[in-house]
Structures are given as C-alpha cells and as structure tokens.
Amino acid sequence: MEVLSNITIFGEVLLLMLLLCPTVTAYDSRVLQYYNEGVDLSEIGRYADEAVISYDKAIDINPNDAITWNNRGIALGELGRFPDAVASFDKAIAINPDDAITWSNRGSALYILGRNTDAIASYDKAIAINPDDAITWNLRGNALGKLGRYTDAVTSYDRAIAINPDDARVWNLRGIALRDFRRYADAVASYDKAIAINPDDDFTWSLRGNSLVKLGRYADAVASYDKAIAINPNYTYAWNLRGIALGEFGEYPGAIASYDRAIDINPDDADAWYNRGIALGELGRYTEEVASYDRAIDINPNYADAWNNRGIALGELGRHTEAVDSYDKAIEINPNDAPVKQNREMALQKQTKTTPLLYAPIGAMVLMAGIAVWTRRRDPL
C-alpha cells in the first residue's frame, strides 16, 4: 500500500534525525539499547510484536521520548494496528507538537482508517510546520480525493510538484484526481508528465488509456494500452481495457482476442469473461456469449450485469424462460434496477408472442419506433 511505504520512509527519516541528535549520548544506555532493537527489527522488516515490545521497553524507562513514540506508531502501522498507531503518534505530539513528520505520519494512519477529514487536519498541521514537505502535500491530495474534493486535491498535488517537479508518482495522482473531476484532457497531460519522468510505468500508461477512451480517442487509447502491455505482457488489467477500447470503435474480433489474452493470464478474471461476452454478442455469437457470462458468474455469482446480459443473449436465442430466470437472479442481487425489470417484462411477453425485438449494446431502456429495446451493460472503465 502506498501510504504504508511513505510511513516507512518517515521512519528512515526519524532514524537519521536520531543519529544526528547531540542529546543521544545523554540517554540511559538501556533506552538506547531498546530503541536500537526496535529500529533494527523495523529495518529488517520484522514489524511484529518484538519490534513494538522493544519500543515499549524504551518508553517504560523514558516515557517522554517523542521519537520512540513516533517510531512505535510506525511499527504498529506496519502491523495494521492503525488505531493504536494514531494513539502512539498522539503521545509523540503531546511531547513535541512541532514535529511535522509525526503529524504527517498520524495523517497517514487516519487516512488508512478512512478518517479523511481528520487526516487532512493532521497533514495541515504538518504543512504549517514545514510547508516544503512535498510528500505531505501529496498525501493530503490523496485524502482530499477520497472526499471528492478533486479541485482541492489537484491544488495539493500542484504544491507537491512545485517543490519536487520530478516525482512521477505525484503527477500520476494528480491525473487521477483530474480524471475523477472529469477533466480528461488535463488528466492525460498530467499522465504525460509522469511518463516523461518514468516511461516504464505500466499503470500510468493504462490510466492514460482510460482517459483517452473518455475523450473518444479510442485508437490513441489502444496505443497507450499497448505501451503498458509492452512493459508488462502479463498485465491483465491492460489487456482487458484494450479490449474495451477496441470494442468502442467496433473492432470486436480484436477485442475478443484481447479478452482471451487476459483470460489466458488469469482464468478467474470475471470482468474479462463478462466483456468478452459483450463482444461476442455484438458479433451475433449468442451461444458463445451465454457461455462467457456463465464463466463470469461462476467466478462471481453476484455479478448482476452478467446475469442481465445473459438474459438478453438467451432472449436472442429464443430461450425466453431461461432469460426470465436470469433476470430474476439480477433483480435478486439488485432489486432496484428498473431497466432489468423492464427486460424481464419483455422476456415474459416473448414467451407468448413472436414479435421481433431489438437490443442496444449500451444505454438505458428506450423506445425505438414503438419497439422496446433491450438494455445491455458494459463494464465501466
């Protein structure tokens, strides 16, 4: 998890602070011993009870050591004990309220707990002490994004970038915030900055492709996914998204080939099976479409959209009773889905009528020349 890696970085910073601190020689030798044991355990990745126990022993001897309370919080965070980590950071802050790093670490623990408003307040405290801390500006942007405050998140990322313009990760996160704010062209520009710094980041190439799809630039999106796949040929996420982009401009055989590649890598990718079914349906290969949805449902029995699309494909095959059963499953999962209920009503009517029906690959239930149209779903980007 990205926030945890940042917490580890803060621990390394604190170790450097301790080594440079002239008051270290005044410590009781047992305090320094137990502190160093905790740091050593942390450095070799043994964030288990023994690391916390070592810090606790140091604190028992000197409960007013803010640095040890802070490092104890880091170790607790690595154990996933985030409420305890917050309490430990609070102890450190009570002793030394002017330590920007501890405020930032506290914010990260709160962020992981989903307490984003409190996390932002903690990051603000850190920034008030050290306004040139690019990492904290970055983390603050993450928390703002979680609250849907995308404009503020972008502003926070911009501050981080002004301090350190060569941090590809911040450019990437800025792009995500812009995407969530539906500023897709600006998101692409931000991803381009990240890629210029780190051209081997397959994830950023994929995110760039997603925003290009939103802009209707499907060929460019495919090229972006191809870049991601060239870096990581087993990147199922990119293969799946590539298939979606190809389908958007009607290249369904290519889309199916992309989904097949994703499935070869991960046969349990329910989304790839689902998207493959959609492409098969667009080609009129309804029996294969049903089989593809069946695989998606085997993996995820609560995949309501797969049950819905399966009903449509069964209807195209004239298997209306089975179609009704499939819609019933979708409605059982999502009882408030009105379009699926309308699809079910159409299938019931088809059990007694032979009037031909049309379907639309995307969109809500509509009436076209007085004829009802099936509602087929796509997997969203």
SS3 201: coil
**Looking at residue 295, what is its pLDDT?**
98
pLDDT, tens digit (0-9, with 9 covering 90-100), for 54-83: 888 889 999 999 999 998 898 888 888 999
Q: Are 263 and 227 in contact (CB under 8 A)?
A: no
pLDDT, tens digit (0-9, with 9 covering 90-100), for 84-135: 999 999 999 999 999 999 999 999 999 999 999 999 999 999 999 999 999 9
Residue 167 falls within a domain, yes or no? no
CA diameter of the chain: 92
Look at residues 102, 130, 158 and tell me which one is the last residue of a structural domain. Answer: 130
User: Edge-to-edge strands of the sheet including 371-375?
Assistant: 358-360, 371-375, 367-368
Write out the two tokens for 239.
């293969």
Question: How many angstroms separate the CA atoms of 355 and 68, rounded?
Answer: 76
E-only strand ranges, 123-212: none
SS3 373: strand
Flag whether pLDDT at 4 surpasses 90. no
**Looking at residue 228, what is its pLDDT?**
97
Domain that holds residue 17: 1-130
Question: How many angstroms separate the CA atoms of 198 and 100, rounded?
Answer: 29
**Looking at residue 10, what is its pLDDT?**
41
Other C-beta atoms closer than 10 Å to the C-beta of 233 total 12
**Looking at residue 37, what is its pLDDT?**
46
Flag whether pLDDT at 289 surpasses 90. yes
Lowest-pLDDT choice from 26-35, 36-45, 133-142, 229-238: 26-35
Q: Are 245 and 258 in contact (CB under 8 A)?
A: no
Residue 47 falls within a domain, yes or no? yes
- Helix or strand (DSSP H, E) at 371: strand 371-375
SS3 213: helix
**Looking at residue 378, what is its pLDDT?**
54
Burial 325-354, CB ≥16 within 10 A → b, else e:
bbbebbbebeeebebbbbbbebbeebeeee
Residue 328 falls within a domain, yes or no? yes
**Looking at residue 78, what is its pLDDT?**
82
Flag whether pLDDT at 366 surpasses 80. no
Residue 357 falls within a domain, yes or no? yes
Q: Are 105 and 89 in contact (CB under 8 A)?
A: yes
Q: 288: buried, middle or exposed (CB in 10 Å: 19+, 13-18, 0-12)? A: middle
User: Considering its fold, how many domains does the chain have in total?
Assistant: 2
Residue 289 falls within a domain, yes or no? yes
**Looking at residue 181, what is its pLDDT?**
86
In single-letter form, the type of residue at position 90 comes to: D
Look at residues 104, 130, 156 and tell me which one is the last residue of a structural domain. Answer: 130
Residue 258 falls within a domain, yes or no? no
pLDDT, tens digit (0-9, with 9 covering 90-100), for 229-277: 999 999 999 999 999 999 999 999 999 999 999 999 999 999 999 999 9
| pLDDT above 90 coverage of the chain, percent | 68
Flag whether pLDDT at 312 surpasses 90. yes
Flag whether pLDDT at 3 surpasses 70. no
Stated length of the chain = 381
Write out the two tokens for 32.
């320094």
Burial 244-266, CB ≥16 within 10 A → b, else e:
bbbbbeebbebbbbbbebbbeee
Full-prediction pTM beyond 0.85?
A: no
Residue 114 falls within a domain, yes or no? yes
In single-letter form, the type of residue at position 25 comes to: T
For residue 1, give the CATH number of its domain: 1.25.40.10
DSSP lists the bridge partners of residue 247 as: none
Flag whether pLDDT at 13 surpasses 70. no
Look at residues 130, 154, 175 and tell me which one is the last residue of a structural domain. Answer: 130
**Looking at residue 377, what is its pLDDT?**
54
Residue 149 falls within a domain, yes or no? no
Write out the two tokens for 148.
């849907």
Q: Are 110 and 78 in contact (CB under 8 A)?
A: no
**Looking at residue 379, what is its pLDDT?**
52
Flag whether pLDDT at 18 surpasses 50. no
**Looking at residue 318, what is its pLDDT?**
93
Q: Are 229 and 242 in contact (CB under 8 A)?
A: yes
Q: What is the residue-averaged pLDDT of the chain?
A: 83
Flag whether pLDDT at 140 surpasses 50. yes
SS3 339: helix
Question: How many angstroms separate the CA atoms of 3 and 327, rounded?
Answer: 42
